[in-house]
Amino acid sequence: MDGIAPSIGTVADAYDNALMETINGPYKAECIRTTVFHEGPYKTITDVEYATGSWVDWYNNRRLHGSLAMTTPDEYETNYYATLNRESLPI
């Protein structure tokens, strides 16, 4: 294996796959095993790719998130930047 370096940790390090394993369960449960992001059974790889894109968009932008006070990531980010951009009004 000349010229190949580990991505993050050492060989056989659990940290290499931690992020992927963390998201893989919700992805399979919410996208692959349901018909929320697609109609009917998957017939082609394109069906899986389209459903995956829809799920990623929902997951990153529109899902309600418990650690964000049950708001969507988009709403939370909008509210966050709105508080930073408020100008002080003269008294």
Q: Using one digit for the tens of pLDDT, what is the confidence trace for 41-61?
A: 999 999 999 999 999 999 988
Question: What are the φ/ψ torsions at residue 22 (nearest 5 degrees)?
Answer: -70, -40
pLDDT of 21 above 80: no
Q: Which residues contact 88 (CB under 8 A, 6 or more apart)?
A: none
pLDDT of 81 above 80: yes
DSSP code, position 88: P
Least trusted range by pLDDT, from 1-10, 20-29, 40-49: 1-10
